[in-house]
Amino acid sequence: MSKEGILKLEAELKQLKFKERPKIVAEIKRCMEMGDLSENAEYHAAKEAQTHLEHKIADLEYKLSRAQVIDTADIPSDKVYLFARVLVEDTSDGEEIEYTIAPPDETDVDNDIISVKSPIGAAMLGKSEGDLIQVKVPAGTIEYKILKISRD
């Protein structure tokens, strides 16, 4: 992962542990004070939310325990690899778009940061400037020409 990706996961974990967890604990306590728990839907919903939150915390802690920072300076820039910014042209209409190839945990489709495991990301891996790639999508097949590869 990138250093920024790790920092983002750490911030999310901190938010969940120190903001969200106390809120759920307080909600469970409030619901318990209402009396009979067997028919208390709010209590059961809060307990379910707590279980979901604890699973998410455990998942983030696991990811962070196994994460390694990748130094992008060590990645060649003559081919498409992880963290490459790739300018492509849709050969059918000439439209250009720039994608950044990222690990699955760092994707942001709204900002054209796509997963290395996505169909487009996987098709680009190892390709060079000038190469054509074909990507099968639900609407058919898209053909892109790689115009430029750069690093941040």
Is the pLDDT at 27 greater than 70? The verdict is yes
Least confident of 31-45, 61-75, 115-129: 61-75
pLDDT at 152: 64
Tell me yes or no: is domain 72-150 CATH 3.30.450.20: no
pLDDT-derived band of residue 35, with 50, 70 and 90 as boundaries? confident
The closest of 60, 82, 74 to 16, measured between CA atoms, is: 60
Instruction: Write the CA distances from 5 to 30, 35, 58, 70, 110, integer angstroms.
Output: 36, 44, 17, 10, 16
- State the burial class of residue 142 (Cβ atoms within 10 Å of its Cβ: 0-12, 13-18, 19+): middle
> Which sequence spans correspond to the domains of the chain?
3-66, 72-150
Is the pLDDT at 72 greater than 70? The verdict is no
Is the pLDDT at 81 greater than 80? The verdict is yes
Rounded to an integer, what distance in angstroms lies between the CA atom of residue 109 and that of residue 106? 10
Q: Do 145 and 91 meet the contact criterion of CB atoms below 8 Å apart?
A: yes
pLDDT at 105: 83
Instruction: Write the CA distances from 77 to 23, 103, 124, 152, integer angstroms.
Output: 46, 17, 13, 10
Is the pLDDT at 75 greater than 80? The verdict is no
Tell me yes or no: is domain 3-66 CATH 3.40.30.10: no
pLDDT-derived band of residue 128, with 50, 70 and 90 as boundaries? very high
Q: What is the mean pLDDT of residues 27-50?
A: 87
